[in-house]
Structure 1
Amino acid sequence: MSKQGRPVNCEHVERCVIVVVLGVGSLLPWNFFIIASQYFHQRLAAAPNATCNATSNATCNATSGGGDYSYGLWMPLASNLPLLILSLFNTLWPSSWSGCDLPAARCKRRGLARDPLVVSSMASIIACFAVTAVLVNVAVSPRAFFIVTMATIVLINMCSGVLVGRLLGVVGLLFQQYLPWFMSGQGGSGLFAALVMLVSIVSEVDALVYFITPCIVTVITLLCYLRLLKLATSPRTHSHTRGDAVDSPLQDVAPQGPPGITEITALSSSSDAPEEGGDQKRDENLEKHCGWHVFNKIRCMALCVTAVFLVTLSVFPVITSRVRTVYKDNAAWDKVFTCVCCFIVFSAMDLLGRVLTNCVQWPSKESWWLPVAVASRGVFVPLLVMTFRLPAFLCRDWFFISIMATFSFSNGYLASLCVAYAPQLVRGKDREAAGLLMSLSIALGLSLGALVSFCIVKALGVD
């Protein structure tokens, strides 16, 4: 029990819930635009004086020029390239790579309860979704709608680039043991968006409801962010975490790990602190190059997580969303096939993989099996391209579902594992820097994957 008489387990549950919500909110904008591709395709093919009911599978009347705007082709580039640029800006924003100069550490040192960039990013995301919701029932030409939509996606993902990096850095510094829960929340955002879309398709509700939903979730995310920082700076939290190496960001001790590893890491962390009367110049030089120093320690995890998302974005959703059911005579199943077999299966299995890392963490961070497992995912690219390009190869729907399930599970598990391992490889005050670098690596993988998917679609000659 804490001094206030509140069970410590309740505080642990509260933090878990808050971190999960932060994970959901950080990737929800990206997921909502990916999963709503059917709505955008319909609007871009519609006549200028027509609007579509968001999510019905009925084809809107085509007009000249509507087919010139390929949402599925340009959306990954419009979303991931700004995300990469802003993630790079977000990583290089601190004046130095010393832990005390990073945003979360300043927050801790000064007792500041909010980061202006996080608050402004969430406010901008809410405004962008509000504009998208308003356009649902506004008659505009396909060209104008395409320009506004792409501009909105660019702006939202610029904000998401800042948001993901800052939240990942804050959680990594203040509550490092909850990083797997943050990754689970990111996986849950895709499942949440897919389920909202499925309900919209089945009930044929207006798209206005679909796009208002992320506005509400983003507001809740902002409140959870402020609550988390309040918990981090409260005296009650420090009173029962003073001896907790994981939850106390001011202590450079290692998180709990397997026997032997914890002791070695703790010894390494304690040796990082300069002794009184020691060589101050050497310590200053280390701090000057701390960014490169941190990257050297986590480079294997950074490269692995980049490779994971490169393979994933190479075929998802640009290729996988184009696969059609073999049971085309079943109108009801054909209507929901893409939403269920592509988006819901991917999101659910991706979430399962992320959650599993809270219980099982294999391979270990020192094992060579981890990069081997990451590299082996490359086989999914030709496999999924074949399911789209060669319909005879897809003899049953369950075959495509099985591939998607394995593909998405490995994405969630390996990505979450790499992100969870990275802060364990650095000193306590460098954990936020590690989180920012991992966020940059994720954005790099997404952007490279989007470029590869663009090339694949052009090579296949599809719109």
Structure 2
Amino acid sequence: MERIRRLLQRKTLYEPLEGGSESPDGEPIPHSKQQPFSWLDYSVFLLLGVAMLWAWNMFLAAGPYFQRRFESDDRLLRNFQSAELSVSTVGNLGSMILLTKLQARASYPKRIVASLVLNIVVFTLLAVSTRLFLGVTASVYFAFLMLVVFSASLATGLCQNGVFAFVSGFGREEYTQGIMTGQGVAGVLPCIAQIVSVLSVPEKKSEQGAPLESSTSAFAYFLTASVVSTVTLAAFAFLLSRHSPRQRIKRSLDSEDSENDPERFVRKSVPLVRLLKKLFWLAGAVFLTFAVTMMFPVFTQQIQSVRDPHSAPRLFQPASFIPFAFLLWNIGDLIGRVSPAIPGLTLTSKPRLLFILSISRVIFIPMYLLCNLRGKGATISSDVFYLLVVQLLFGLSNGYIGSNCMMGFVEWVDEDEREAAGGFMSLCLVAGLTVGSFLSFFAAGSS
């Protein structure tokens, strides 16, 4: 009996936080220690994951439209995508560093709401820009685009910091896995939409040979991002309302204690050094995973099918083959994000193994060099090798390792450190993306 009692006591170390998050009015939201899993809550967190990355995928999907807006300026036409990537990652990282330091009085639901509202405003303005002010110069539109990209990166930082910190208060790894799955879905759906749009209309090119995209398609892309953020905002408000009755009950039971307990309203600030010591392997794994991952967009934009472009089906021509390759990478990423939901496939208790796996992903970079880069010929002349072995497995490894890291950190910190740890892990993720985005320029130059 004594052994059973010790096991039960050990299990309670990973119960959900009490009062770990705040409602929009600034009051803590307590969660029941025996809070059951809810598919409804899971669905809301999945939707939050979709909204978190949907905006960025809309920028990628609208690349041909931006090419048309910049076709009058060859310098901007060549460099606008690199500028998008740099501005976005730097803005995202800067906001994450600032938000991670502002832990003590952080209202994570407010951060989530602010991010969704900002996304709605940004992408509504982009949608309007496809109908109005079409006569502005390329340099003016470039300045506008960089401003909205920077704003969207701030929204992404708010969302990442808020969502991963907020979900940790529920004490359920399944909800974190739902967020990661939603991010994977956000990568798959825009690729499908782009392929359908390319195959359903006659192919058009600019004088420089860049594929064009109509203002109508771009308007639909940007408006869709606004709609997704709006629906997510409504769903998140519903999630908060679902837990408000428990908040009122808890407040009535603990009214006397709350008057004399300032910790219920001021969250303890957790030093980042302490979090790094406890989460060194997981933080390092998620950083390396996403740093290496940022190499794949550079190679995917340059690799062509090994088939003769003059006789190949339209799916294997560059205008559709490139988004098809993105789609397979994102399908692999989605499978990887979903896999840890199966108990036998989780590695959350093995952080050192996750770190080793994250390092081993570097092998995919020379594998890209074996493919048909810029149509110069492939060492391994096979689209199957490129699409299924390189793209699909590279994406799968990204989703699998990333999800395990973001699900498992709650097992390695104290209860009162979980929310701060969630923000810290999301900071490491964004730092990996930022470092990888700058390293990708070297990869592009060497290829």
Q: What's the CA shift for 1:206?
A: 2.6
CA distance in 1, matches of 2:172, 2:363: 33
Q: What does residue 439 of structure 1 align with?
A: 426
AA aligned to 2:113 is V
CA distance in 2, matches of 1:9, 1:295: 29
CA distance in 2, matches of 1:373, 1:223: 38
Q: What's the CA shift for 1:232?
A: 3.1
> Are the structure 2 counterparts of residues 73 and 291 from structure 1 closer, same or farther at C-alpha, using a change threshold of 3 Å?
closer
Q: What does residue 185 of structure 1 align with?
A: 182
Is the aligned partner of 1:399 residue 2:385? yes
- Unaligned runs of 5+ residues in structure 2 are 1-33, 202-215, 255-267
Q: What does residue 70 of structure 1 align with?
A: 79
Q: Which among 339, 360, 371 is matched to residue 356 of structure 1?
A: 339
Q: What does residue 88 of structure 1 align with?
A: 97
Contact 2:282 2:354 in 1 (8 A): no
Cα root mean square deviation, aligned = 2.8
Range with greater deviation from structure 2 (408-417 or 200-209): 200-209
Q: Which among 200, 225, 244 is matched to residue 236 of structure 2?
A: 225
CA distance in 2, matches of 1:13, 1:364: 22
CA distance in 2, matches of 1:184, 1:238: 33
Q: What's the CA shift for 1:364?
A: 4.8
Is the aligned partner of 1:37 residue 2:63? yes
> Are the structure 2 counterparts of residues 208 and 17 from structure 1 closer, same or farther at C-alpha, using a change threshold of 3 Å?
same
Q: Which among 373, 391, 396 is matched to residue 357 of structure 2?
A: 373
Contact 1:191 1:347 in 2 (8 A): yes
AA aligned to 2:137 is S
Q: What does residue 297 of structure 2 align with?
A: 317
Q: What does residue 23 of structure 2 align with?
A: none
C-alpha distance after superposition, 1:131-159 (max 9, x if no partner): 22122242333222222212211110111
Give matches, 1:49-128, under 5 Å: 63=72, 65=74, 69-95=78-104, 101-104=105-108, 114-115=109-110, 117-128=111-122
CA distance in 2, matches of 1:397, 1:38: 24
Contact 1:102 1:433 in 2 (8 A): no
Other structure's SS at 1:368 match = helix
Contact 1:34 1:317 in 2 (8 A): no
AA aligned to 1:163 is C
The TM-score, its normalising length taken from structure 1, stands at 0.75
Other structure's SS at 1:365 match = coil
The TM-score, its normalising length taken from structure 2, stands at 0.77
> Are the structure 2 counterparts of residues 393 and 71 from structure 1 closer, same or farther at C-alpha, using a change threshold of 3 Å?
farther
> Are the structure 2 counterparts of residues 68 and 338 from structure 1 closer, same or farther at C-alpha, using a change threshold of 3 Å?
closer
Q: What's the CA shift for 1:170?
A: 0.4
Q: What's the CA shift for 1:325?
A: 1.6
AA aligned to 2:303 is V
C-alpha distance after superposition, 1:139-184 (max 9, x if no partner): 3332222222122111101111111110111011125331111111
Is the aligned partner of 1:332 residue 2:314? yes
Q: What does residue 227 of structure 2 align with?
A: 216
> Are the structure 2 counterparts of residues 73 and 393 from structure 1 closer, same or farther at C-alpha, using a change threshold of 3 Å?
farther
Q: What does residue 57 of structure 1 align with?
A: none
Q: Which among 128, 131, 140 is matched to residue 136 of structure 2?
A: 140
CA distance in 2, matches of 1:9, 1:197: 41
- Unaligned runs of 5+ residues in structure 1 are 1-7, 46-62, 96-100, 105-113, 240-249, 251-286
> Are the structure 2 counterparts of residues 87 and 121 from structure 1 closer, same or farther at C-alpha, using a change threshold of 3 Å?
same
> Are the structure 2 counterparts of residues 36 and 394 from structure 1 closer, same or farther at C-alpha, using a change threshold of 3 Å?
farther
Q: What's the CA shift for 1:102?
A: 4.3
Is the aligned partner of 1:296 residue 2:254? no
CA distance in 2, matches of 1:293, 1:353: 30
Q: How many residues align?
A: 375
